[in-house]
Amino acid sequence: MLKKDIILRNPLRLMEQAIKDSLPENGFGAVLARAGVGKTAFLVQLSLNFLLMDKNVLHISLDTPVNKVCLWYKEVFDRLASQDNLQQIERLWETLQPHRFIMTFNVDGFSVPRFEERLNELSEQEIFFPNMIIIDGLPFDESVHSTLSDLKALAKKHAMHFWFTVRTHRHEGPGPDGMPPQLKNVSDLFNLVIQLQPEGKDIHVKALKKAEAVNFEHPELVLDPSTMLLKDKEK
């Protein structure tokens, strides 16, 4: 019952169907924002929603140590579950752990062959196999197209979808298609692109690319800068 309550309490559930409709089984999603705006926080909430539905999430960090990523998850989970009995919360938290695996790479040492080797080791030993993979901190530079193309092939091979964080910069304007320069040559690989845009006291969640007929605007979701949790702007 507690698990269901937290799922219902998580504002991300209001966006859940839109995400499902925009992101196929082997699709790519991206969260865009400037440094410190909330990309990782958004994806941790997305991940927790997935974990609460007994799905497996592999979180790959290229710029943050494992203990800090673990702390992010625990803090966000505790905030979502703060209205409930502490003992029940801890029991539920323990049941989520087998569904999450955190992996770190040095950003310069990350490569698709090396990642696939580690992924195969996990699955062959029946340790873990993900339904969703988050890659946090991948540089979207000139060489990223080759990396993303290889990851797309991997996603199709294993029927799993990927989410990426993409750092944008204040001084860089969007291109004619509305995409930032970081996605200029790779936007065709993405099914869903979400931008976190600070406006006034809130951080607005905007869909720059999505499936046609999918509506992200009602209800409008924003990130609360004080907690980095999603909330319904209308409330």
pLDDT tens, residue by residue, 169-201: 888 888 877 899 999 899 999 999 999 999 888
Q: What does the pLDDT read at residue 54?
A: 92
Asked whether residue 132 carries a pLDDT value surpassing 80, the answer given is: yes
Amino acid sitting at position 177: D
Q: What is the pLDDT of residues 33-88, one digit of tens each?
A: 999 899 999 999 999 989 998 999 999 999 889 999 999 999 989 888 876 666 78
Judge if the upstream peptide bond of residue 219 is cis by omega within 30 degrees of 0.
Answer: yes
SS3 (DSSP) at 105? coil
Q: Is the pTM of this model over 0.85?
A: yes
Q: Residue 91 above 80 pLDDT?
A: yes
Give me the DSSP letters along 199-231: ETTEEEEEEEE--TT---SSSPEEEETTTTEEE
Element (H, E) at 189: none
| C-alpha span between 8 and 181 (Å, rounded) | 36
Confidence band (pLDDT; 50, 70, 90) for 21? confident
- Check residue 119 and give its pLDDT: 94
- CA dihedral in degrees (76, 44, 110, 209; nearest 10)? -150
Q: Using CA of residue 229, residue 230, residue 231, residue 233, what is the dihedral sign?
A: positive
Residue 213 burial by Cβ neighbours in a 10 Å radius (0-12, 13-18, 19+): exposed
Instruction: Say how far apart CA 4 and CA 27 lie, in whole Å.
Output: 27
For 199, the domain range is: 2-232
Q: How many domains does the chain have?
A: 1
Identify the pLDDT of residue 221.
Answer: 80
> If you average pLDDT over every residue of the chain, what do you get?
88
The domain that holds 118 is classified in CATH as 3.40.50.300
Q: Give pLDDT, residue 124.
A: 93
Residue 1 pLDDT: 55
Ranges 3-7, 33-37, 53-57, 91-95: which has the least confidence: 3-7
Beta strand extents in the chain (DSSP E only): 28-33, 57-61, 100-104, 132-136, 161-167, 192-199, 202-209, 221-224, 229-232
Q: What pLDDT, on a 0 to 100 scale, did the predictor assign at position 235? A: 56
Closest CA to 145 of 188, 208, 179: 188
Q: Would the CA dihedral through 9, 15, 19, 20 be positive or negative?
A: positive
More confident residue, 171 or 167: 167
**Least confident window among 7-11, 50-54, 70-74, 126-130:** 7-11
- Residues linked to residue 231 through DSSP beta bridges, in sequence order: 222
Whole-number pLDDT of residue 113: 95
User: Band of the pLDDT at 219, cuts 50, 70, 90?
Assistant: low
Give the separation between CA 214 and CA 210, rounded to whole angstroms.
7
